[in-house]
Amino acid sequence: MVQVLWLIIAVLVLYSVGYLSYSKYLAGFVELDDEQETPAHKHDDGQEYVPAKKSVLLGHHYSSIAGGAPIIGPITAGAAFGWLPAVLWVAIGNPLFGAVHDFMSLSASLRHDGRSIGYIIGEYVGERGKNLLLWFAFLTLILVLAVFAYVVATIFNAYPSAATASMLYIVLALVFGVYLYQLDLPFLPGTVAFVSAVFVSVWIGIQYPIALFATGDLASDVIVLFGDGGTWLPLASSIGENAAAWAPVIIIYAVIAAILPVWMLLQPRDYLSSFLLYTGVGGMVLAAITGTLFGLFDPVTYEGATYSLESQLPAFLGFYSPAVGPIFPFLFVVIACGTVSGFHSLVSSGTTAKQLNKESDARPIGYGAMLGEGLLATTAIAALMIVGATEFDAGLAGAMANFPLGGAVMLSSFGIPLEYGTTFIGLVFVSFLLTSTDTAIRLGRYMMEEIVGTPDTSGENDLTARLEQFAVNRYTNAFLIQGVLAYLLIASGTWSSLWPLFGGANQTLAALALLAATVWLVNWDDSKQLLSTGVPMAIMLVITVLALLWIAFIKNPQTILETGATGLELASLVLQSVLALVLVALAFSVMRRGYNNIQRVRGFDSLTGKKAEEPADD
């Protein structure tokens, strides 16, 4: 059997080669120059444009992009197709696709005054192209909210102690925000105190695990808040009453967190999350290496099963997964992060570019941080290999519950009891997910504001103006648009269609971000090679469009026929199919406009041999 140690070492070697060679080439290719003034210095306003130290910005950027998806996607793919296809895509695709995507998105924004990827595409293909891309991103963010709420509910159901620890963690973040920004108390002592309190919350969670509703598989020591009810909840029949109750609670939390001022929760929570992130991911990697090489690890037993640092998961499970679909295109879609993620382009061009102190910092932050996310994905695959489970009563979403167990087995090399390890890794996992859920809502609100602009309120009875005000209002946008749509998407309880739909949308967004970078290169210097961005763009577009069409025309109709879905479940599956087709249409519209621009700048008419005229932007 394969030891997970060699998997981790192989990925570290490949990533080191990618960073030392390819990222260096890309830095020269886009002509990074520390003599040039970055947007952070040029527009320094103490609010959004603020120069940051490289180490500080790297931590912020990594925390922002390393959400729950690089854990969820690789585990889903590993459970569906085996660990070998999953790790090959993470190990090879990350430095050639994902890191390039993140670096080029950051570099393009850097050269456009820190503007968003939507602004950049609009600069060259027109206002309509910009709005199409923003609509695509907005719909993708609703999917982010839906799938992450689904997974957090799964984790809370499997590990009630993680639910308690997570609730305490949120309270600590709120208090820390008041401590820093309202009471203006010392930063360093506060950091020590609150980080220590976060780790204490793990112990409290073990002592007082909580659940919302009782289910048959809950331990006797779990504190059940609402008794044996919950069968009326839409998801109760598919994922159980307790998980079904947690899903809307998580969405409501994310909506409220997205409305609150950033100082109150977002900033202090992200800061505390960074300590969980580094401790959890770094601890698992070090534990796997030292536990194997120095003989520190002893096999551990949990609920009657014995686990070691050797793989219990088959390397290959076949070319077709009944739960997901064919390995092509779905292997490349279900690993929605860890290899390449369109969400990162929103972070790179949304906040990071506005804080870059000097241009050379773009290499470790844009390219290097993505490699760090790939390492997180590798630990997720390693955790699943240790547990070795591929079938779950709740569908592939159940695989997510095994990341805390696999991570805890690794941490046991340091003598950490399995009970504490599972709760801690569960808290690490959930903290990633909770960070991404309300960040998605906040970004979605910003994008809707950019699409709509300032509503015209001059006509009191103007229906269009009222709809625009409804769409951009922070409360109605977060609660009634994003929150409700997200819950409708998860109401089917069909993880096998919901996660690939998110992956397809997210990866298509990555293709569109690579298109924006390619268009920028063409218009900047028509002698620049386009292979570094153009090839990943074309490959990802083909893969994602095939996946979205499969979901719309094959996967979801088949699920409806086989399960006899009715009511809310049927509406959810139909909504997913319609959304998939809308995303395909939006993607092709943006791609056509981008291609027209490239053809105008660099293309030649095959009959006349002359430069092609610019096509009309209809």
Q: Are 600 and 612 in contact (CB under 8 A)?
A: yes
In a domain, 611, yes or no: no
CA-to-CA dists, residue 511 to 505, 508, 531, 542, angstroms:
10, 5, 13, 9
Mean pLDDT for the stretch of residues 587-601: 93
Decide: 362 and 59 in contact? Cβ < 8 Å.
no
CA distance 199 to 192: 11
Residue 380 inside a domain? The answer is yes
- Give a yes or no: residue 168 inside a domain: yes
* The two three-digit tokens of residue 135, written as one number: 């609509």
Domain count, the chain: 1
Q: What is the CB neighbour count within 10 angstroms for residue 308? A: 17
Question: Is residue 530 included in any domain, yes or no?
Answer: yes
DSSP-derived secondary structure letter, 615: P
Count the neighbouring beta carbons within 10 Å of the beta carbon of residue 293: 11
Tens-place pLDDT, residues 407-425: 999 999 999 999 899 888 8
Cα angle 230, 231, 236 (rounded to 5 degrees) comes to 95
- Whether the predicted pLDDT of 283 surpasses 80: yes
DSSP states of 317-335: --SEETTTEEHHHHHHHH-
Question: Percent of the chain, pLDDT > 90?
Answer: 43
Range of the domain at 356: 2-31+50-455+465-604
Q: How far apart are CA 277 and CA 274, in angstroms?
A: 5
Residue 153, both tokens: 């509910």
Going by C-alpha positions, the residue among 157, 158, 168, 170 that lies closest to residue 204 is: 168
Q: Which range (24-28, 544-548, 595-599) has the least confidence?
A: 595-599
Q: How far is CA 234 from the centre of its chain?
A: 26
Number of Cβ within 10 Å of residue 608's Cβ equals 8
Mean pLDDT of 275-288: 87
Determine the Cα angle at 90 with ends 84 and 92, to 5°.
Answer: 95
DSSP 8-state class, residue 125: H
Q: Is residue 505 part of a domain?
A: yes
Q: In the prediction, which pLDDT does 605 show?
A: 45
State residue 411's pLDDT score.
94
What's the confidence (pLDDT) of residue 609?
44
Q: What is the spatial distance between Cα 27 and Cα 33, in angstroms, rounded to a whole number?
A: 9
pLDDT band at residue 392 under the 50/70/90 scheme: very low
Averaged confidence pLDDT in the chain: 86
Instruction: Tell me: pLDDT of 393 over 50.
Output: no
Mean pLDDT across 219-240: 82
- Assess whether pLDDT exceeds 50 at residue 356: yes
Q: What is the mean pLDDT of residues 169-190?
A: 90
From 103, 90, 275, select the one nearest 176 (Cα to Cα). Answer: 275
Q: Minimum mean pLDDT among 47-61, 133-147, 470-484: which range? A: 47-61
* pLDDT above 70 coverage of the chain, percent: 93
Residue 46 above 80 pLDDT? Answer: no
Q: Residue 329, preceding bond cis, omega within 30 degrees?
A: yes
Please, what sign has the CA dihedral across residues 224, 569, 563, 549?
negative
pLDDT digits (tens, 9 = 90+) for 477-522: 888 888 888 888 887 666 677 888 989 999 999 999 999 999 999 9
The torsion angles phi and psi of 510, rounded to 5 degrees, stand at -65, -40
Beta-strand relationship, 325-326 and 320-321: antiparallel
Is residue 153 a part of any domain in this protein?
yes
pLDDT value for 396: 52
Distance, in Å, from the CA atom of 259 to the CA atom of 441, rounded to the nearest integer, reads: 9
Going by C-beta distance under 8 Å and a sequence separation of 6 or more, which residues neighbour residue 421? 404, 407, 408, 409, 411, 412
* Residue 184 domain flag: yes
Query: What DSSP assignment string belongs to 342-360?
Result: THHHHHHHHTGGGTBSSGG
In the 8-state DSSP scheme, what is residue 24?
Answer: H
Q: Tokens in use for 348?
A: 């790179």
CATH of the domain at 573: 1.20.1740.10
Domain assignment of residue 37, yes or no: no
Q: Which segment of 92-106, 278-292, 357-371 scores lowest on mean pLDDT?
A: 278-292
Are 591 and 541 in contact, with CB atoms under 8 Å apart?
yes
More confident residue, 22 or 346: 22
Q: Enter the pTM of the model.
A: 0.85
pLDDT > 90? residue 329: yes
Specify the DSSP element, H or E, that contains 211.
Answer: strand 210-211
Asked whether the predicted pLDDT for residue 149 surpasses 80, the reply is: yes
